[in-house]
Amino acid sequence: MSMKATARAHPIQGLVKYHGMRDPELRLPYHDSISVCTAPTNTTTTVEWLSESEPADDVYLIDGEEVDGRAAERIEMVVDHVRELAEFDHAVRFESENSFPSNIGFGSSSSGFAAAALALVEAAGLDMSLPEVSTVARRGSSSAARAVTGAFSHLYAGLNDEDCRSYRLDSELEDDLKIVAAHVPSYKETEEAHKEAAESHMFQSRVAHIPDQIVEMRDALREASFERVFKLAEHDSLSLTAATMTGPSGWVYWQPETIAVFNAVRELREEGVEVYFSTDTGASVYVNTREEVRRRSRESNRRDRHRDRRLGSRRPRSRPRRERSAILNTVCSSAAELAFGDPDDDGVVDLTEVVARHRISHPRNVHRFDQSVLLDTEDLEQAVGFFRRHFAVPDLRGEFAGEPFGFAD
């Protein structure tokens, strides 16, 4: 019997975000949370349970580097729980690779522990539903529970594994949502922020406010109301940050580039573009928009190219426009490399197969609707220039300037 498996999971964007843990060992959150998975960014994890005749120590590798310290302890919590469920004591070799940077506010722990839990359970031969696997992943990261069930998911708070698990939420917004993930370089310590969450004088107010937010978010997702969902997510980002900033350590994660993206998004919205920002714990920003915005932008760009061909030459650009175009190309080159790699490697356990095998009522791959791209922003001009150009809409701004970078097909 093979005791090796590979799994891939996508990170999450928190919509109604959790903050603080009632039980830091089992990672039981104080309140419910809802998120959406972002693709094609992903974590791919391969695990192998070694036979008892091969005595060895556990080995944990992430992006080719051996893991130790607190990171290794968190992986061990998940590994030991699977050992307990499988009733064996095999050593494990664990190798994980991220297609995007970690510790920058894009949920690498969510995809990391989701992929780890699925691969460990699969390799151990355990027959578990995705909500059950979510309780395994939760021991590494509460957000990972929602990355296991994928798409739009709801993690229920509770004091045990029967209550504190994640379930997928159906919403027609899956086919409409497009995300630009703006990477603002800034290291952050999410775990430390969670530890001291309850010490903020604003924490109890947030906990009291969350149930209404959850009810509103579930209803908005069922209604497939883009405006309601992402207005709530934007508001929740500000609420989360208020609680984080007022804890004992006074964590301030946002950078000037973060605020620049906020301002650009709000200016675009004032001009009629359906676009909202959202952050988790970190400086990086999710910019949420709709398929219609992308479609109109691409149609405008095609019209520009057709006109250029008809005139027999590419129309000249002003110097400022050439400079902005160069910035956009520079910014998007790394995004394309990170976001458009080959999504299928031989031997990867596709979650579609897992869902089908367990006869879950969602036969599609609940993780992989490719709706996001990672964008590096290293200065204000790049951040503002990207969003003001990328979301330009002809009927609002005249000509659409620039190539249609930024979205995965």
Q: Is 59 exposed, middle or buried (0-12, 13-18, 19+ CB in 10 A)?
A: middle
Whether residue 403 lies inside any domain: the answer is no
Whether residue 106 lies inside any domain: the answer is yes
Work out the average pLDDT over 206-235. 97
Higher pLDDT, 241 or 332: 241
Round to whole Å and give the CA distance between 255 and 259.
7
What is the number of structural domains in the chain? 1
Q: How far apart are the two ends of the chain, measured CA to CA in Å?
A: 39
Cβ contacts of residue 388 below 8 Å, gap of 6+?
A: 264, 267, 268
| Confidence tier at 13 by pLDDT (50, 70, 90) | very high
Per-residue burial over 83-114, b if 16 or more Cβ lie within 10 Å, else e, is bebbeeebbbbbbbbbbbbbebbbbbbbbbbb
Work out the average pLDDT over 275-300. 80
Beta partners for 95? 46, 61
Work out the average pLDDT over 374-391. 54
Neighbours of 205 (CB within 10 A): 13
Q: Checking phi first, is residue 311 left (phi over 0); if not, alpha (psi -120 to 50) or beta?
A: alpha
pLDDT of residue 399 exceeding 80, the answer is no
> What's the CATH code of the domain at 79?
3.30.230.10
pLDDT of residue 367 exceeding 50, the answer is no
Give the chain's radius of gyration (CA, Å): 22
Whether residue 24 lies inside any domain: the answer is yes
Whether residue 99 lies inside any domain: the answer is yes
Q: Which of 45-54, 89-98, 209-218 has the lowest mean pLDDT?
A: 45-54
pLDDT at 267: 87
pLDDT at 303: 61
Residue from 10, 12, 18 nearest 236 by CA:
18
Higher pLDDT, 291 or 30: 30
Residue 95, SS3 per DSSP: strand
pLDDT of residue 129 exceeding 50, the answer is yes
Whether residue 409 lies inside any domain: the answer is no
pLDDT at 284: 86
Work out the average pLDDT over 308-334. 41
- Name the residue range of residue 252's domain: 4-397
Write the pLDDT tens digit of every residue in 23-63.
989 999 999 999 999 877 889 999 999 987 776 899 999 99
pLDDT at 26: 94
Round to whole Å and give the CA distance between 121 and 119.
6
Q: Which of 68-77, 136-145, 338-347 has the lowest mean pLDDT?
A: 338-347
pLDDT at 321: 38
Whether residue 287 lies inside any domain: the answer is yes
pLDDT at 307: 60
Whether residue 402 lies inside any domain: the answer is no
Round to whole Å and give the CA distance between 379 and 320.
17
| Confidence tier at 354 by pLDDT (50, 70, 90) | very low
pLDDT at 388: 53
Residue from 282, 253, 348, 339 nearest 102 by CA:
282
pLDDT of residue 395 exceeding 60, the answer is no
Write the pLDDT tens digit of every residue in 71-92.
999 999 999 999 999 999 999 9
pLDDT of residue 224 exceeding 70, the answer is yes
pLDDT of residue 391 exceeding 80, the answer is no
